[in-house]
Structure 1
């Protein structure tokens, strides 16, 4: 199978590309604009493989998309290209509207025109898999709002039927793209599938996000910023587990279905930072604990308090479960950043020096 992956030089996209090339016989056409968060160094292990092709194309460029579809004749699309950082969306929402909404529309139309020209067999087999986020659902009740309840399954979780209630420019733009994808199935018959995932972490993560930011700041003796009290809860999913899940969906998922993908790891942000500090205390010990660098800062506007995914549909229907616990995945992640300082430096050069973004 030939799979066209948009955003394949990004964090999750590169994990998807590596997984497909390393673990299947399928071919990948990686379509990526190479914004600040896209880095071909994340694909050095597969870049010379004959089943891998890179196309530097903006998904808002219809002419170039038409060329890519005509030239490479993909059997499926996995759409991951997106602006994805909430803080950046607060400061500059226009890029999020353009890429996540207009770009998704443009890609859908290019895919539809291509799909309509396929022969009956290829047309029936074609899939358009749209990768989204749990943030489209808004937020969930927090334990401190329900006296006596711990972080467990007694509290509600996001399911595939949870109503949408996005609260940031980022999540609104992703919700909009989800609706576009479903409309192109219902109106035009384009065979689409949607997945919504929880917070990813792991190797090759751009250091604007919490876990890589904390690891790199800790090593340099810089403050470790915690928004508000640090009690915001996220469900953490190791990126390679997510990549396996996405391949399951595009190859075995049912047209028109939505699948929620989560790691079953609800953690408060403060807990995550403390866990990183503890690992670093063991791997790179210094005179004082890394946790002494924790610095509480003003919270982000409209900060959602809790996300948590019910991934039981993925387990029951597609036989997928995460292989990593939060503890094993986080240790692998910290070890990767310690061993790949050159990659970390290259992705930040001239673009981002770990300053606070947003308001």
Structure 2
């Protein structure tokens, strides 16, 4: 029989990419998603279209309408499926939304992850468990790095960070936002289940994970939402830092490829900073230039001097540990390619 994989948040950006990727590898796909993104962000966050796409295009796809906060059903789900690997991408993903719905945020990110870990342990301590964490576990500590202000971006002015932020960077004594706090709890729990029970677990601390199947909204999905605004000639709001704040962007395909590598050769309680790295980084102003060059439309925007709480001035991932542990993996999609794919996806969806 083909191997079985359970993917939570299967209708989201990374979840759907992992479904597609592992289906192509011959796995049976079990997706768990209850479209909670539409509850968090309203109709513009709805991911049912992605669920329908998976059901139409992946013959081996089985959908499970389940909430990861439902402990008893999660235990039954994993025991019933008996998966050979679990990829946990479901989350409440927004800084700003977390402050408005703190219980929902913590119950989803922290408690939901714990439910999955314990359900996995009861079923098997031998199967790989991959958790999509976030670079927000570092809080705003990266802002303490010495920086230089350039014409359209900030950048590190410290040779220790020439390659970006490594996994050894501290996660405490810093402001995280409530979202960052709930994700820290999940991150540490995934590591602890790995160390305490000798389970093969991984925390992937993502930068800006993006791609053509991203349903970007103002509160989450920077690059996708920015491109959508340009296409619809809608005003985009820059929050602080003169629009020079820098993010590294990684295509969802390259995330799925790394997950494939980890599941093939899993390690215990590992942490990886997964992002586009320095070469795939850009500021908001630089992203404006990129999409305007593609669409032929100038970017409409306004500026709010107040930066988001816990926001990074500059962040890009140091990918050296990932490449050392898994030398067959590397970034394959450039930032330019990624922007072009997202733009075309929005053109097709908005028609």
Q: Partners in 2 of 1:188 and 1:80 — Cα distance? A: 22
Q: Partners in 1 of 2:225 and 2:191 — Cα distance? A: 35
For residue 42 of structure 2, what is the aligned residue in structure 1?
none
For residue 10 of structure 1, what is the aligned residue in structure 2?
12
Cα deviation, residue 144, structure 1: 7.5
Contact 2:16 2:54 in 1 (8 A): no
Cα deviation, residue 153, structure 1: 8.4
Instruction: Give the SS at the match of 2:87.
Output: strand
Instruction: Give the SS at the match of 1:340.
Output: helix
Cα deviation, residue 43, structure 1: 4.1
Contact 1:198 1:263 in 2 (8 A): yes
Indicate the RMSD between aligned Cα atoms, in angstroms.
Answer: 2.3
Instruction: Give the SS at the match of 1:277.
Output: helix
Change (3 A) 1:297 1:274: farther
The answer to whether residue 169 in structure 2 is matched with residue 154 in structure 1 is no
Instruction: Give the SS at the match of 1:212.
Output: helix
Instruction: Give the SS at the match of 1:58.
Output: coil
Q: 2:301 aligns with which of 294, 312, 328?
A: 294
Contact 1:142 1:306 in 2 (8 A): no
Change (3 A) 1:34 1:302: same
Cα deviation, residue 212, structure 1: 2.6
Contact 1:137 1:158 in 2 (8 A): no
Cα deviation, residue 80, structure 1: 0.9
Higher Rg of the two aligned structures: 1
Cα deviation, residue 330, structure 1: 0.8
For residue 231 of structure 1, what is the aligned residue in structure 2?
244
Contact 2:281 2:335 in 1 (8 A): no
For residue 255 of structure 1, what is the aligned residue in structure 2?
268
Q: 2:115 aligns with which of 106, 111, 131?
A: 106
Instruction: Give the SS at the match of 2:55.
Output: coil
| TM-score, structure 2 as length reference | 0.85
Q: Partners in 1 of 2:65 and 2:78 — Cα distance? A: 14
Q: 2:254 aligns with which of 219, 241, 255?
A: 241
Cα deviation, residue 94, structure 1: 2.1
The answer to whether residue 52 in structure 2 is matched with residue 47 in structure 1 is no
Q: Partners in 1 of 2:332 and 2:176 — Cα distance? A: 31
Change (3 A) 1:38 1:193: farther
| TM-score, structure 1 as length reference | 0.83
Larger CA deviation: 296-305 vs 66-75? 296-305
Instruction: Give the SS at the match of 1:30.
Output: strand
Cα deviation, residue 114, structure 1: 1.3
Instruction: Give the SS at the match of 2:233.
Output: coil
> Structure 1: any 5+ residue segments left out of the alignment?
116-122, 282-288, 343-359
The answer to whether residue 198 in structure 2 is matched with residue 189 in structure 1 is yes
Change (3 A) 1:94 1:277: farther
For residue 133 of structure 2, what is the aligned residue in structure 1?
132
Cα deviation, residue 305, structure 1: 1.3
For residue 273 of structure 1, what is the aligned residue in structure 2?
288
Q: Partners in 1 of 2:255 and 2:123 — Cα distance? A: 28
The answer to whether residue 27 in structure 2 is matched with residue 32 in structure 1 is no
Q: Partners in 2 of 1:65 and 1:276 — Cα distance? A: 41
Instruction: Give the SS at the match of 2:314.
Output: coil
Q: Partners in 2 of 1:59 and 1:237 — Cα distance? A: 26
Q: Partners in 2 of 1:144 and 1:235 — Cα distance? A: 18
Larger CA deviation: 323-332 vs 147-156? 147-156
Cα deviation, residue 276, structure 1: 1.5
Number of aligned positions between the proteins = 325
> Structure 2: any 5+ residue segments left out of the alignment?
39-44
The answer to whether residue 218 in structure 2 is matched with residue 216 in structure 1 is no
Larger CA deviation: 75-84 vs 208-217? 208-217
Q: Deviations over 1:138-190 (max 9, x none)?
A: 34258873479956883612212222145111111111101111122233333
